[in-house]
Amino acid sequence: MLHSRDPRAISETDTGDTVTDGVDQLDCQNLDFGLILLEIRKDVKGIHTQFDIMEHTVNQLKVDNEELKKQNKNLVQTVNDLSERLKHVESVSEISQNKNEKIETQMKRNNLKFHNVPEQQNETRPMLIDTIKQLLTEKLSINCDSILIDDVFRLPSRAGNRPILVRFALLHDRDHILTAFRGKRKEGDPGFRIGDLPPRIGRAISGLFPLFQQCIAENKRVHFKFDKLIVENTTYAYDELHKKPVRVDE
């Protein structure tokens, strides 16, 4: 025999199943939300860790930068000290060079070196003395009867006629010849050169000579003083780097 169910019982049973399903769904949602929160916390913790690492790296860079600044400051001071020492060494070297040149000039003060003088075969000392006196007479119009020569000889040379070094007994004769040569050179090329100065001084005088000639043409008081040119009350030196006379203060 079939029994019919009470509609209210059915309604109560069906309603209970629906509530259970809703609770299950809510529990699942809460579980998912909790997992998401755990993942977020994990990510945040990782970010904090990365920030800590970056902060440590930045702090280390700051320390390294300060150390580099300190080293750079020390290097600058070292370079400045070395520069001062170098300037002192250069100054001492220049003073020493000038003293040596003055000593050399003093030792050679009676000497003159004659360049571009043709050589003869089997030259002897008397032949060289005759050659020099003939040159002085013909080219510089100097009376050589009273001129005394202590020594004369040819110097080594890689090309052309070897220069003749003449040592005069009297400084007066040497200066007289040099003055006559300079006067002749103003008129034109005498065909030979005279000089016996240290190389640097020779270059300085050669570089200053055009200014010397200009001052003579302008009737200015001018004379050489060692490796300097004195014009009126102004001193000039030859700048080998820029190849020109420059004014200096003495």
Phi, psi of 245 (to 5 degrees): -70, 140
Residue 1 pLDDT level (bands cut at 50, 70, 90)? very low
- Do 175 and 240 share a domain, yes or no? no
Cα end-to-end span (Å), the chain: 146
- Give one DSSP letter per residue of 166-196, joined into a string: EEES-HHHHHHHHHHHHHHHHHS--SSEE--
Count of beta carbons in the 10 Å neighbourhood of residue 175: 14
Which of 148, 169, 159, 150 shows the shortest CA–CA distance to 119? 159
Asked whether residue 191 is assigned to any structural domain, the reply reads yes
- Do 187 and 130 share a domain, yes or no? yes
* pLDDT value of position 34: 75
- Do 122 and 162 share a domain, yes or no? yes
Count of beta carbons in the 10 Å neighbourhood of residue 231: 20
- Do 77 and 115 share a domain, yes or no? no
Express each pLDDT in 68-95 by its tens digit: 998 898 989 889 888 888 888 888 877 8
Are the C-beta atoms of residues 245 and 211 closer than 8 Å to each other? yes
d(CA 225, CA 250): 12
pTM of the shown model: 0.47
Q: State mean pLDDT over 126-134.
A: 94
The CATH code of the domain that includes 174 is 3.30.70.1820
- Do 120 and 185 share a domain, yes or no? yes
* pLDDT value of position 2: 46
- Do 159 and 202 share a domain, yes or no? no
Helix (H) or strand (E) holding 123: none
Asked whether residue 23 is assigned to any structural domain, the reply reads no
Asked whether residue 119 is assigned to any structural domain, the reply reads yes
The region of weakest confidence among 6-15, 70-79, 170-179, 187-196 is 6-15
- Do 100 and 73 share a domain, yes or no? yes
- Do 67 and 101 share a domain, yes or no? yes
Express each pLDDT in 42-51 by its tens digit: 888 888 888 8
Asked whether residue 40 is assigned to any structural domain, the reply reads no
Residue 20 pLDDT level (bands cut at 50, 70, 90)? low
Asked whether residue 226 is assigned to any structural domain, the reply reads yes
Count of structural domains, the chain: 3
Asked whether residue 39 is assigned to any structural domain, the reply reads no
Structural domain boundaries enclosing 127: 110-196
Express each pLDDT in 200-228 by its tens digit: 877 888 888 889 889 988 999 888 887 88
